[in-house]
Each structure stands twice: as structure tokens, then as C-alpha cells.
Amino acid sequence: MAERETIASTSPSQAAATRSKTRPRALISGAVAMAAILMFAAIGGEVIANIIAGTASERDPVLAVALILNIALILLGWRHHNEVTKQIQAHMDAAKRARLLAHKDPLTGFLNRRALASEGSEMMQRAQKRDRVVAMLVIDLDSFKYINDLNGHHVGDVLLREVGKRIMSALPGSALGARLGGDEFAAAFQFDPTNPAAVDAIADELVERISYPFEIGNQSIQTSASVGIARSDHDCNGIDTLLRRADIAMYAAKHQGKNRAVWFDGSMERMLEERNRIEEGLRKGIPAGQIQPYYEQQIDLLTGKLHGFEVLARWEHPEKGIILPDDFIPVAEECGLIADLSECVMRQAFIEARDWDQQLSLSVNISPAQLKDPWLAQKIIKLLTETNFPPNRLEIEITETALFDNLGIAQSIISSLKNQGIRVALDDFGTGYSSLAHLRALPFDRIKIDRSFVTSINDDNESAAIVDAITRLGSSLGLPVTAEGIENEQIEASLKNLGSMAGQGWYFGKPMAIGQTRRLLADKDMLTSRQKDEVAEEALDDLRKLRRTG
């Protein structure tokens, strides 16, 4: 490591500068040693011969001293010359290694991003001359962070090297291989533009090879890769565009379910622009209070009684109207705005709901990205204190996918929340890994059956069997179950046949803004008298407005 640091801190230009300083010194010391040797040859022979023959003159003792000094000068000069030569060699070696490091990733020996850009650009020029095209593949591992967290960085490093080998084994001999950083690799090679199927075959082979287990130490580690492919023709004006397009396609591969290769197409770029617009809008919209909590009723199916609401975010966009969470939550997660967004939604909901009937609970969704924040539980508890909302009326909904990525932190967050009396539900159960290990490792208070099974319970035998199995699992673990996506009376009837559970869905009502929610609660007599007066006042206002416009 120390060596790596020294090498890394000696840039090629620094090494060249040192070399240009030491080289004249080496020449001078070499010249001094050479002059001393010549002097020795000139005077040494005469003096030594006189001493041996016993014909030493008066001047010879002086010459003998000069000779001794001369020998000392030769030895000193020579030693100095050797040292300087060694120094030059060391600097040259360091410069060579620095040059190598400037181009190569030290872990895998692959090119780094900068070197890929320059060598890829040359490859594009060569390809153009031969009427060929360059395919750029960006390859990203799908669960590397999880593997790293679970098995440690050493295993992660070995895995990256092995993945690198498998990538190279699937590529043509002349291909460039690069590691762009973390678990992201890239590869570039030429192909015949009329035969993109050849690229497909290589990319598919690569995805398949990476999906086989890796034997590291005595463990078998499974991963997969998402691959984005872009080609250097089709209006691609250089290596940067080519890499960016392959990168965009790689994200599309992830969105389409990972473990696959996807070609870039123009619509992806438009999607990216749209995503950037959403990000920009959120940056302004969150502080401006445009993200509002909507409330979806949760009903006890046995009694038909309202027992609470799921809080669902809606973006009340000044120009575009209401935007649904699937269109902005993933962007908020990607660009690090989800914590602010979530806090803003929760704060409004807590303030609004604290005076409702105390039997009514609120269920709030937490995204996978938030579960990476070790302070999440403390932030929620602080918010409850600030808004004076009782913790026992709050339920946090977490999806299985979120747990898969961050089991360790999730465990400590969940136990902190539960210590404060907050309940925790496992959301969208059945769509993720549906693992008993998760149910046992984490002390959930409820399972929510994903709506995809519930909506099709009467049309699809498999869905019906899954809903039945989850309901039985819940009752054997002593966990209450909520079915989401109850769209009609028939679905409700089928669920009631399976036993006691809670439910939500359009049959009971779509998520409502605060005004409508308050009116519903006023009808059910579940508001404080102050809130009831406010609702009556609003209703009068509406009536007046109607009269004016009518």
C-alpha cells in the first residue's frame, strides 16, 4: 500500500522533472571521475615507476600525495556516479508505474475511464476507416453493495477481479475492457454495422457468464449484471456520447428487471431529460409545499369499520396537475431528495391527523433509500414529538426489496421504532423475495398483500392461491394481514371467505386530499368539534362559490 501511495504521488511530469535535474548531476560526476582517471594515468605511472625503481625525485612526495588524493577522487566520483545512476533508474521506474496507473485500474488491471476514452476514441476512428462500428457496453453488477456489506470488502475485491476475467472471456480478442469505478465496467469492440445480432450474442453470453456462481474462499456467491449497449453510428458524435448512451441503456436494463442487456434508443434520452425536469421541479416543489399527503381508507373487512389511512404522496403541480408517486418517488430517491420529501409529507399528515379520532392510525411508506440512513428512526421520532402525534397511531410500511439491500441497518431502525411504540408493516408482500427469513429476522406487526394478487383473485387461480397462502402464513405467525387493491364487491367477498383481515382499495374509495378526508371523517363523527366547525365552514364557502358561479 505504501508503495502504491508513493507511486501514485509521483506523476509522470514530476518524474520527468526530477530526471532532468539528476541527469546533469550524473554527467558532471561521471566527467569528474573520468578526469580523475586520466590524471591518474598521466601522473600515476611515472610516480609509481620511480617509487618501485628507488629513483624518486624531490617532487615525487608531492606527486604521491596528489596521487592519493587522485585515487580518493576517483573512488568518491565513482560512488557518487553510481548513486545518481541508481536514483535516475528508480525515478524512471516510478514514472513508468505512474504512467501505468494513470491508465489502468489497479484492482483489475483494466483500463480506467480516461484511458477508455482515449483508446475508445482511436478505435472509433479506425472503425470508421474500415466501414465498421464500435459497440460500447456498460456493465453494472446488480447486487454488489449487498455482497460487499455481507461478506466484506476483501470478498468484494476478489469478486470484481473474477467478474473482470469473465467479462474478458466473453469478448472478442481485440476488445477494450475498462473499469469505470465501483462495480461498473465497460467494454468496446468493433462490429459489422449490418450485423448487430453479433453484439447481442456477445452481450447475452456476458450476462450469462456473470450469472453463474463465483466460488470465493469457501463461499459460493451469486450475482448478475445489467448491460447497456450503444453503437458509434446513429448520430453519435464521439466517445463521450457513446459512453453516456451505453450508461443510459444500462439504467434502462436495471429498470426492466436487471440481469439483461438492453440497446440504447433515442426514447431513453428523452426519458432522461424528463427525469431531469422532474428533479428540477422537485427541488422547487418540495420547499414550496407542492407535495401533499393523500389519504386512502383502511377498513376492517369483518366489521366494515374504518381503522385508519395509508398516507400516499401526490404532487400538486402548478401546471401539470396531480402527478402520481410512481412518476416522482424513484427520481426523489435517485437524487437524494426522498428524505426531505418524506419529512414534508409526514409532517403535514401528522399535524392534520393528530386531532382525529384517536382510534385512527396512519400508515406511512418508507423507501429503500431511506432505510440506508442510520438516523431514520430518530428523525421520525423527532417529527412525532414536534407535531405531537402519538407514536402508537403510526405504522411504517417497508417493502421487502428495501430489506434485501440493507438488512443490518433496517434491523436497528425497526427495533428503535418499535421501542417507541411505532408499528411496522411489510408492504407489497409476495412481489419480492417473500422470504420467511425476513419475517423471522424482523419483528413485523402486519403483512400487506400486494395489490397485483388481490385485484386478480377472482380471475386467476395462482393469485387466489397466493392470497390464501399469505393469509394462512399471517395467521400462523400471529400477524394481522391487510389486502390492498380491493376494487369491487366480489374481491371483498372472496377475501372475507379467507378469514379476518383489513383491506383497502378503490371499492372503499380512492386516495383523497385533505378536504375530502375531513368531510368523510365529519360524516362518521370522527373529528374534534373544532375540526367539525372548520369542515362546516368550508362547506358553506363551497356553497357560496357555487351560487356565485351558478
Which residues are at the interface with Mg ion (CB under 5 A)?
A: 365, 397, 427-428
CA distance 449 to 335: 29
Residue nearer to Mg ion on the CB measure, 158 or 469:
469
Residue 367 grid cell: 423507501
- 326's contact among ligand C2E, Mg ion, none, with CB below 5 to 8 A by partner kind, is ligand C2E
- Specify which residues 503 forms β-bridges with: 299, 483
Q: List the grid coordinates of 353.
A: 391527523
Residue closer to ligand C2E (CB basis): 164 or 485 = 485
Q: Are β-strands 133-141 and 225-231 bridged in parallel, bridged antiparallel, or unpaired?
A: antiparallel
Supply 216's cell numbers.
470465493
329 interacts with ligand C2E by CB under 6 A: yes
- Site map (CB under 6 A) of ligand C2E, residues 364-393, x = contact: -xxx--------------------------
For ligand C2E, the binding residues in 120-179 under the rule CB under 6 A are none
Shortest distance (Å) from residue 426 CB to ligand C2E = 11
Residue 463 touches ligand C2E, criterion: CB under 6 A? no
What is the rounded distance in angstroms from the CA atom of residue 378 to the CA atom of residue 50? 98
- Give CA–CA dist 303/526, Å, rounded: 17
User: What is the spatial distance between Cα 471 and Cα 493, in angstroms, rounded to a whole number?
Assistant: 15
Residue closer to Mg ion by CB (options 207, 396) is 396
Rg (CA), the chain: 37
* DSSP code per residue over 28-71: HHHHHHHHHHHHIIIIIHHHHHHHHHT---TTHHHHHHHHHHHH
Give the side-chain half-sphere CA count within 13 A for 424.
Answer: 24
Alpha helices in 256-324 (DSSP H): 266-285
Least Å distance between CB 397 and ligand C2E? Answer: 6
Q: Which stretch binds ligand C2E (CB under 6 A): 33-41, 110-118, 183-191, 480-488?
A: 480-488
Residue 167: how many other CB atoms lie within 10 Å: 25
Backbone angles phi, psi at 358, to 5 degrees: -70, -10
The window from 33-41, 90-98, 179-187, 482-490 that contacts ligand C2E (CB under 6 A) reads: 482-490
Q: How far is the CB of 503 from ligand C2E (least distance, A)?
A: 9
Strand positions, DSSP E, 401-472: 423-429, 446-449
Choices 129-137, 209-217, 220-228, 359-367; region in contact with ligand C2E by CB under 6 A: 359-367
Nearest-approach distance from CB 483 to ligand C2E, in angstroms = 10
SS3 state at 131: coil
Rule CB under 6 A: say whether 484 interacts with ligand C2E.
yes
Place of cell 367539525: 532
Q: Select from 71, 100, 324, 536 the one that contacts ligand C2E (CB under 6 A).
A: 324
Smallest distance, Å, CB 516 to ligand C2E? 14
Cβ 268 to ligand C2E, closest distance in Å?
A: 23
Query: Which residue number has the CB closest to ligand C2E?
Result: 505
CB closer to ligand C2E out of 321 and 478: 321
The H helix count followed by the E strand count for the chain is 21, 16
The answer to whether 511 contacts ligand C2E (rule: CB under 6 A) is yes
Residues 188 and 230: their CA atoms lie apart, in Å, by 10
Residue 511 contact partner, candidates ligand C2E, Mg ion, none, CB within 5 to 8 A by sort of partner? ligand C2E
Q: Give residues in contact with ligand C2E (CB under 6 A).
A: 296, 312-313, 324-326, 329, 342, 345, 365-367, 397, 427-428, 451, 455, 484-487, 504-506, 511
